[in-house]
Amino acid sequence: MLTRTFKRSAFLFISAIVLYSCATVPVTGRKQLSLVSNSDIIQQSAVEYQKVLAQSKLSNDQQKVAMIKTVGTRVQKAVESYMSQKGLSDQLAGFAWEFNLIEDDKTANAWCMPGGKVAFYTGILPICKDETGVAIVMGHEVAHAIANHGRERMSEAMLANGLLTTLSTAMGQNPTLTQELLLQSVGVGANVAMLKFSRSDESEADHIGLIFMAMAGYDPNEAPKFWERMEATGGGAPPEFLSTHPSHATRIKDLKKWIPEAMSYRK
């Protein structure tokens, strides 16, 4: 009887947490779980970002570095403009944007942590080809941060691991587990296996990122071409139901569907 009562109380408690801890994703309007505060995850992400930079070799190719920073700044301004127009500027509180290029030709990857901390790896630049290609990736990765996918994944992970507390408190109570959950939640690192964003997250970031790159002055019609190049470079991919990312074919089809909307935002 006690066990049944306890289970029922636990269920009601967790249900209440989920019910009253929801946020809305900008652009798409999707409801998401939000147990972690933005200020907490941005603060912790900034610490981890500096660790990644300290352990990595930053590119000294001034032309490539300048391209990353130029595109990043244009996308940043587009994001700030969009959020301002929608009355959502408060959601960017604590953002301290950074755009860095890591020298690693074997890694075709990029990511953006909560708070606007972006890292590109030189291995993805040949697939990007040019500034527009970089903008496609930049828009997508920044969209993950604006959609608070990292916060959502972290909230789900903490709930699953019984860490029903603040992120900073969890860091003090179980730093190893919490740090691992944080890194996996925000998709940090060169290892693709660390990326924990779901197919729906990736699709949502494609949609939002397309709008941001268009607002930054880049042509969204180039996005499907980028993923065609990625498909050609990546070789055989696992079936979509076995992957955390949409298949290239699905991604390209969806991007083409969203292009007219994105074009309406283009300056």
Domain ranges of the chain: 33-263
Distance between CA 254 and CA 240 in Å, rounded?
14
What's the predicted TM-score (pTM) here? Answer: 0.80
| Between 196 and 194, residue with greater pLDDT | 196
* 16-20, 119-123, 228-232: range with highest mean pLDDT: 119-123
Task: Pick the most confident of 99-103, 175-179, 233-237, 249-253.
Answer: 99-103
Average pLDDT, the chain: 81
- Looking at residue 95, its pLDDT comes to 96
pLDDT at 42 over 70: yes
What positions carry a catalytic annotation?
A: 141
64: which residues sit within 8 A by CB, 6+ positions away?
101, 122, 125
Confidence of residue 214 (pLDDT cuts 50, 70, 90): very high
Q: What confidence tens digit (pLDDT) does each residue in 58-106 have? A: 999 999 999 999 999 999 999 999 999 999 999 999 999 999 999 999 9
Burial class (CB in 10 A: 0-12, 13-18, 19+), 67: buried
Query: What single-letter DSSP state applies at residue 32?
Result: E
| Residue whose token pair is 């993805």 | 124
Does pLDDT of 195 surpass 80? no
Compute CA distances 238 → 161, 190, 205, 227, 235, whole Å.
Answer: 29, 20, 21, 16, 10
Cα angle: 189, vertex 114, 65; to 5 degrees: 60
